[in-house]
A and B are shown apart, each in its own frame.
Chain A
Amino acid sequence: MMAIRELKVCLLGDTGVGKSSIVCRFVQDHFDHNISPTIGASFMTKTVPCGNELHKFLIWDTAGQERFHSLAPMYYRGSAAAVIVYDITKQDSFHTLKKWVKELKEHGPENIVMAIAGNKCDLSDIREVPLKDAREYAESIGAVVVETSAKNAINVEELFQGISRQIPPLDPHENGNNGTIKIGKPPSQAGRRCC
């Protein structure tokens, strides 16, 4: 049995660039044109293999709190990775992407893996952001970058595979949660594991 590592991933980017759609595609392989602004599910999970580990992504959505610039610092806590999304048909959204990156550097954990997703690449005929710009920028900040289409299921898996590859292998010294308690689950009842 491979070890499962839980990895929190937070999503960032302007309202309407397709953050939820990307997750929905990744987790449920589903796309909905009339996706309502993010109601109900506060994070989604999906497990993918990576080397001799299984990466269980806990993907957090902004729950719309970014809309009026009111994301809470707790949103970033303990994130292993961040997916920062822009819309290739909107130059503005690429511009604010940089602000999100800055934001992340200020409030996010150190060593967070950053992945940039230029979403809506199915609409490249009305593209405003050249891929080259995104690549250059991503390189400058050491981020993974891909253009995705949540609608046509392009590169969404690859986006998360890219993140998986960037996650450093588990540090044996930091193994275990050194006394951190999650409530709502039974507190460290080692004996209760079934089968």
Chain B
Amino acid sequence: MADNLPSEFDVIVIGTGLPESIIAAACSRSGQRVLHVDSRSYYGGNWASFSFSGLLSWLKEHQENSDIVNECPAWQEKILENEEAIALSKKDKTIQHVEVFCYARYESQDLHEDVEEAGALQKNHATVTSVNSTEAADPACLPIADESLSTVSCEMPTEPTPSSNPESAREVNDVEAAGEKENPCDEKTCVLSTSEEETRKNVPTTEDTAEQPKKNRITYSQIVKEGRRFNIDLVSKLLYSRGLLIDLLIKSNVSRYAEFKNITRILAFRDGRVEQVPCSRADVFNSKQLTMVEKRMLMKFLTFCMEYEEHPDEYKAYEEISFSEYLKTQKLTPNLQYFVLHSIAMTSETASSTIDGLKATRNFLHCLGRYGNTPFLFPLYGQGELPQCFCRMCAVFGGIYCLRHSVQCLVVDKESGKCKAIIDHFGQRIISKHFLVEDSYFSENTCSRVQYRQISRAVLITDRSVLKTDSDQQISILTVPAEEPGASAVRVIELCSSTMTCMKGTYLVHLTCTSAKTAREDLEPVVQKLFTPYTETEIENEEVEKPRLLWALYFNMRDSSDISRNSYNDLPPNVYVCSGPDCGLGNDNAVKQAEALFQQVCPNEDFCPPPPNPEDIILDGDSSQPEALESSATPEANSETLKESGNLGNSEEPSE
């Protein structure tokens, strides 16, 4: 399979995140020869989703990143006299402050068995046939340390530790952290959290280990064994059912590659309690928590928001004040004001003006009812499916895909100032007209003036929902307002197993906010409000109603959205920058960005139009196949485009 890449393309796209993938699809669709590469072994970059073992490998890679220097043929000598090179970065610096906590027990009988994710022997989750399998992540190996972080957090509550004294536990940790970061620690030496407070809370006591684990408790080894049931997103987003991404998926017919679930509940966190927010008409009327008067107030206000622009007299006077102040002037109880502000407009006391708040509220209401009772959809198997769907569309129209393919440098023609080629990790020079590069591939030289924001993320595996109802298959979004003014609200998305992102009996919870500090510092207070660590519950019964944490991960991700092109040093005009994920809930930013860049690469071309009729595209086909009709019981022998092209998303299945 020593297939060589062609040496000339129209467009080279580096990075397989969502914006890059959309652009690749759009360019390929409009006839450009596209090469799409990613240095990683999986699709999606920071938009990817991982199985549990895949995530552990990802964590490990971020730990090892600093140590690995890939041996590549020197590219410098390949640069001609009339050329200059822009070296690309070899390592990903977008992830920081990674901390992992395991609260779930091992099953004692499994302690010395080899536990591994069933079936998943491969290190990464992208599909490979040529790469040798690597060992599944050692279940006992949890210490993950970012190069910039001196703490290694790893808790193994089941195994008796050398001492339950927090001080000595810390010492062990320090030694471990200083010495053998890379080595998987075995169960015996596994270190405890660095934080004293954490340590005290989670240090296993002898009584704990003596107790028989109950049968219905999820253990760490179960999580590892069922690891492929997890599809853990690095970014946590939802699709607004009338947002740009849904529109694009439908328009381009890429929607056929994915399936979705509707978010079933909007939740609010108020006075220490989680409650459901009534947002649709049916919800409002069925709500038990609202009085009749409140129901009428809310309906009246929401109806006004739907068409607020037609009644300028009702809000013009309040344009200068914040949305929260404006809400106080309306006939709404504090309860309702809270719901509208935090859960429907999803803003804060200070962040939005009246107009912004009304706009956000209208947008929310506008999206209601298209697919269900809430405005949001979530892709089955995780957000990481979406870049892959666009990549498939690109490939279907001839785009060429290479994962694990690094680009060493961009080659710039001195005279024209334009980029003319890349040199890849094999030393091969590949010519192209346009180059789209995801931000994280640029070296420090290129980005020396760039100021990045950060996103704080937490990923939790829990054993029950934050708000229990009859159904255990709820998908919820919850906004927890900031406690201090100026801090940002925390967005919590809880996914159930039918989203195909976690194993049965567990929930996958994503927390996201704009970073003020490290991810753990930003998010742990909210985690503590909503959840209780697994080991505590047997002792403190009053806490039992909170979901128990089985496993937790914190990390910071760089937010390169909103960075102006001018901030990058010396970019040739035909090199375009794609940003990593932003902190927002929707995906509009990625779509807008992709469309804008596409218009620069292919001016006046339609952006991802629906595929042509099958007659035009079927393999070289002037063959009208009468035999097919005979041989098939139901003659429907056609490319599937037949049934969906034409009218955008409104055609119906021919028969069902």
Candidates A27, A36, A102; contact of B637 at CB < 8 Å: A27
Q: Across the interface, which residues of A come within 8 angstroms of B611, CB to CB?
A: 40
Q: Which residues in chain A, 163-195, are within 8 Å of chain B measured between CB atoms?
A: 178-187, 192-194
B371 and A69: CB pair below 8 A? no
Q: Across the interface, which residues of A come within 8 angstroms of B377, CB to CB?
A: 181, 183
Query: Closest residue of chain B to A72, judged by CB?
Result: B388
Q: Across the interface, which residues of B come within 8 angstroms of A20, CB to CB?
A: 619
Query: A45 CA to B614 CA in the complex, in Å?
Result: 12
Least distance between B453 CB and chain A CB atoms (Å): 30
B259 and A68: CB pair below 8 A? no
Asked if B126 is at the interface of the complex by the 8 Å CB criterion, the answer is yes
Query: A64 CA to B228 CA in the complex, in Å?
Result: 25
Name, among B1, B257, B617, B619, the residue most crowded by chain A CB atoms within 10 Å (CB to CB). B619
Given A54-B634, A63-B392, A73-B126, A184:B380 Cβ within 8 A: no
Least distance between B495 CB and chain A CB atoms (Å): 13
Given A67-B3, A67-B400, A74:B258 Cβ within 8 A: yes
Least distance between B366 CB and chain A CB atoms (Å): 16
Given A49-B633, A64-B401, A107-B127, A72:B391 Cβ within 8 A: yes
A30 and B392: CB pair below 8 A? no
Q: Across the interface, which residues of B come within 8 angstroms of A49, CB to CB?
A: 633-634
Least distance between B616 CB and chain A CB atoms (Å): 8
A182 and B259: CB pair below 8 A? yes
Stretch touching chain A among B93-101, B245-253, B294-302: B245-253
A77 and B385: CB pair below 8 A? yes
Query: A14 CA to B261 CA in the complex, in Å?
Result: 34
Q: Which residues in chain B, 477-510, are within 8 Å of chain A measured between CB atoms?
A: 498
Query: A181 CA to B618 CA in the complex, in Å?
Result: 28
Q: Across the interface, which residues of B come within 8 angstroms of A107, CB to CB?
A: 120, 125, 127
Asked if B135 is at the interface of the complex by the 8 Å CB criterion, the answer is no
Asked if A133 is at the interface of the complex by the 8 Å CB criterion, the answer is no
Candidates A4, A32, A64, A106; contact of B119 at CB < 8 Å: A106
Q: Across the interface, which residues of B come within 8 angstroms of A28, CB to CB?
A: 618, 621, 623, 625, 628, 637
B257 and A69: CB pair below 8 A? no
B402 and A68: CB pair below 8 A? yes
Query: A63 CA to B400 CA in the complex, in Å?
Result: 9
Query: A184 CA to B602 CA in the complex, in Å?
Result: 26
A183 and B649: CB pair below 8 A? yes
Candidates A15, A45, A66, A73; contact of B638 at CB < 8 Å: A45
A29 and B638: CB pair below 8 A? no
Name, among B127, B402, B404, B621, the residue most crowded by chain A CB atoms within 10 Å (CB to CB). B127
B259 and A36: CB pair below 8 A? no
Q: Across the interface, which residues of A come within 8 angstroms of B381, CB to CB?
A: 73-74, 77
Candidates A15, A78, A157, A193; contact of B3 at CB < 8 Å: A15
Least distance between B266 CB and chain A CB atoms (Å): 17
A68 and B261: CB pair below 8 A? no
Query: Closest residue of chain A to B4, judged by CB?
Result: A68
Query: A24 CA to B627 CA in the complex, in Å?
Result: 12
Given A14-B1, A106-B121, A178-B498, A187:B620 Cβ within 8 A: no
Given A34-B620, A41-B396, A68:B401 Cβ within 8 A: yes
Given A29-B631, A67-B400, A56:B636 Cβ within 8 A: yes
Asked if B600 is at the interface of the complex by the 8 Å CB criterion, the answer is no
Q: Across the interface, which residues of B come within 8 angstroms of A123, CB to CB?
A: none
| Contact mask for chain A residues 144-156; partner B; CB cutoff 8 A; 1 contact, 0 none | 0000000000000
Candidates A14, A99, A180, A183; contact of B246 at CB < 8 Å: A183
B130 and A72: CB pair below 8 A? no
B640 and A45: CB pair below 8 A? yes
Secondary structure of the B contact surface, majority rule: loop
Q: Across the interface, which residues of B come within 8 angstroms of A35, CB to CB?
A: 619-620
Candidates B5, B257, B641, B656; contact of A4 at CB < 8 Å: B656
| Size bracket of the B interface | 35 or more
Q: Which residues in chain A, 60-87, are within 8 Å of chain B measured between CB atoms?
A: 63-78
Query: Closest residue of chain A to B241, judged by CB?
Result: A183
Query: A177 CA to B403 CA in the complex, in Å?
Result: 33
Least distance between B259 CB and chain A CB atoms (Å): 5
Given A29-B631, A179-B261, A100:B371 Cβ within 8 A: no
Query: A56 CA to B654 CA in the complex, in Å?
Result: 12
Query: A182 CA to B625 CA in the complex, in Å?
Result: 30
Candidates B257, B396, B623; contact of A30 at CB < 8 Å: B623
Given A29-B627, A184-B253, A184-B649, A63:B259 Cβ within 8 A: no
Asked if B129 is at the interface of the complex by the 8 Å CB criterion, the answer is yes
Asked if A42 is at the interface of the complex by the 8 Å CB criterion, the answer is yes
Given A28-B628, A43-B639, A45-B640, A183:B371 Cβ within 8 A: yes
Q: Across the interface, which residues of B come within 8 angstroms of A141, CB to CB?
A: none
A182 and B255: CB pair below 8 A? yes
Query: Closest residue of chain B to A194, judged by CB?
Result: B652
B259 and A181: CB pair below 8 A? yes
Asked if B469 is at the interface of the complex by the 8 Å CB criterion, the answer is no
A186 and B636: CB pair below 8 A? no
B401 and A73: CB pair below 8 A? no
Query: A49 CA to B628 CA in the complex, in Å?
Result: 15
Least distance between A79 CB and chain B CB atoms (Å): 13
A180 and B644: CB pair below 8 A? no
Candidates A42, A47, A70, A193; contact of B403 at CB < 8 Å: A70
Candidates A40, A69, A99; contact of B619 at CB < 8 Å: A40
Candidates B391, B639, B651; contact of A44 at CB < 8 Å: B639
| Contact mask for chain B residues 376-402; partner A; CB cutoff 8 A; 1 contact, 0 none | 010011000100110111011110111
Asked if B529 is at the interface of the complex by the 8 Å CB criterion, the answer is no
Candidates A27, A100, A193; contact of B129 at CB < 8 Å: A100
Q: Across the interface, which residues of B come within 8 angstroms of A15, CB to CB?
A: 1, 3
A24 and B258: CB pair below 8 A? no
Asked if B148 is at the interface of the complex by the 8 Å CB criterion, the answer is no
Query: Closest residue of chain B to A34, judged by CB?
Result: B620
Least distance between B328 CB and chain A CB atoms (Å): 37
B43 and A183: CB pair below 8 A? no
B120 and A106: CB pair below 8 A? yes
Q: Across the interface, which residues of A come within 8 angstroms of B211, CB to CB?
A: none
Least distance between B258 CB and chain A CB atoms (Å): 7
| Contact mask for chain B residues 234-276; partner A; CB cutoff 8 A; 1 contact, 0 none | 0000000000001001100101111111100000000000000
12 additional A-B residue pairs with CB within 8 Å, beyond A47-B636, A67-B400, A184-B256: A24-B619, A38-B396, A40-B619, A40-B639, A46-B637, A68-B3, A77-B381, A182-B259, A182-B260, A183-B260, A184-B253, A193-B652
A-B contact pairs, 12 of them (CB 8 A): A28-B625, A29-B627, A29-B628, A40-B618, A44-B640, A48-B633, A48-B634, A56-B634, A63-B396, A68-B402, A72-B126, A96-B129
